[in-house]
Amino acid sequence: MRTLRTDAEQDGAAALVQDRQRWLTMRGLSVLTRAQEAEGDERAEHFTQVLDHAAENTPLAQPAAA
């Protein structure tokens, strides 16, 4: 992702986002808001922490005796 430096770049990006959102909506697909995206990021981070904690507390399987 790159920084939008001029008003024209920002306006163009905003128009593109609105166009993509309209396209998704017309096809019955959900459009995430920034708040929903942030909530998803928080959920993903929490899930990762839960998995890491479970991995730390789960003994590794021992190889089967031959």
Interval 51-62: pLDDT, tens:
777 777 766 656
What number of CA atoms fall less than 13 Å from residue 10's CA on the CB side? 5
More confident residue, 63 or 28: 28
More confident residue, 49 or 16: 16
Overall average pLDDT of the 33-49 stretch: 74
Look at residue 57 in the predicted model and tell me its pLDDT: 74
Q: Give the predicted TM-score (pTM) of the model.
A: 0.45
| Interacting residues of 13 by C-beta distance below 8 A, sequence separation 6+ | 4
Q: 41: which DSSP letter?
A: H
More confident residue, 10 or 46: 10
Look at residue 4 in the predicted model and tell me its pLDDT: 75
